[in-house]
Amino acid sequence: MNAPAEAAVIKQHLIDPEICIRCNTCESICPVGAITHDSRNYVVDVDKCNWCNDCISPCPTGSIDNYRRVVKAKAYSLEEQLGWDELPPELSGAEIAAMAAEAGGDEAAITTAAEPAAEESAAADPTGQTAFNSAQYGASIPPWSAAHAYTNLYGPKAAQKTVTATVTGNLRVTAVGKDYDTHHIVLDFGSMPFPVLEGQSIGIVPPGTDANGKPHHARQYSIASPRNGERPGHNNLSLTIKRVLEDHSGQPVRGVASNYMCDLQVGDQVQVIGPFGTSFLMPNHPKSSIVMICTGTGSAPMRAMTEWRRRLRASGKFESGKLMLFFGARTQEELPYFGPLQNLPKDFIDTTFAFSRTPGRPKKYVQDAMRERAADLAALLQDPNACFYVCGLKAMEEGVVLALRDIAAGAGLDWDAVGASLKREGRLHLETY
């Protein structure tokens, strides 16, 4: 006789709080809302997780890929997980058997429950209609020609926990405003190895402790410089960091990591972990085309890709690949790197800006600008050497992917087939937060 369901042994999906850098990738991509977080930890709801595994590959650190065998009735609750500083140890067979017996099972008849079958990733809305799930089209593998990425060289589970970087530059790259400002920060690693690629990220460990006396967790930032450094040939990189100065009520805001970083002076030292990321990588094929769609500080990886292509072009190694950039902000003054972008050759990069709060003008978002260029984008959707990158606030993601769907349909293409190929071939990458 089988044990009752409450006594069944299951494999519970958990997130390692020591490795997690709180990038929100897992929560944003989970199609069933099984992942949530508080100010400290990201956690998985055992009652909602359907084992679709959509969250595994995109996780930049591997913290999401952890499990513990537990008795179903004794599974770790969200409250328990939110209080963890490290994963609990594996339970022994005797401990699991004892727990199962306590839950009402016959110790000799304890069974292991099968993992829940993965369900359709598109969720249903309250009206009974299938809701559009943009995340299902995001690739979890890099383009076939991407360079090999090194990850987790420094971190909680690495031989060396952190690496020290020295600040060699801190430049504000947006106009002075009362709501927020954005800084371009350059970090130099000296003689310590820290190889990175465009599209990767690092973690910054702020000094001090939180309100509970715990050391601050690392905060993740996308790298804004190409693989050979912010300054070519140097072991350095740059970040694009926005700090919010006021909330929606006009009250002052002092975020821990963003303010720490934006206030750094040249010569200051910073503790870094990483690098992270193996999928949001640019193609190396010299004839590949890249479409970059971003808002705000989502421009960081796009700047890195653009600058690497610019350097290749200057060296004569860049061929016929097309660069397109759709860049959105509330106003021109809030757009990082606006001036330098204007100076790039028009035959090198095709740039379109979208501003949603320009006085006297209608609101325009990046997806609106994309629809205006439908003919160009439809051709690139059909080009196996064209890759699409989306980075910025989570709110933009659905509109952008819907625009791609509509552009495909307008060109007589089957979006289901196109969307599936973009994902399968590592051609559509979504990094929103």
Q: Which residues are catalytic?
A: 221-222, 391, 431, 433
Calculate the alpha carbon distances from 8 to 15, 35, 114 in Å: 22, 23, 9
List residues bridging with 124 in a β-sheet: 130
Close Cβ partners of 8 (under 8 Å, ≥ 6 residues apart): 71, 72, 100, 105, 110, 111, 112, 113
Contact 133, 31 (CB under 8 A): yes
Smallest CA-to-CA distance from 309 within 387, 411, 246 is with 387
Taking the C-alpha atoms of residue 371 and residue 392, their distance in angstroms, rounded to an integer, is: 19
Token pair listed for 334: 């809030």
Q: Count CB atoms within 10 A of the CB of residue 172.
A: 12
Q: What is the DSSP letter of 119?
A: P
Smallest CA-to-CA distance from 376 within 282, 310, 289 is with 289
Token pair 């959509």: residue = 54
Close Cβ partners of 99 (under 8 Å, ≥ 6 residues apart): 70, 71, 74, 91
Token pair 């490290």: residue = 86
Close Cβ partners of 94 (under 8 Å, ≥ 6 residues apart): none
Taking the C-alpha atoms of residue 34 and residue 30, their distance in angstroms, rounded to an integer, is: 7
Residue 49 half-sphere exposure, CB side, CA atoms within 13 Å? 26
Report phi then psi at 113, rounded to 5. Answer: -70, 140
Contact 223, 198 (CB under 8 A): yes
Peptide bond connecting 275 to the previous residue in cis, omega within 30 degrees of 0: yes
Token pair listed for 318: 């860049």
Q: Which amino acid is at 433?
A: Y
Alpha helices in 66-165 (DSSP H): 78-82, 93-102
Token pair 């410089």: residue = 225
Q: Count CB atoms within 10 A of the CB of residue 161.
A: 12
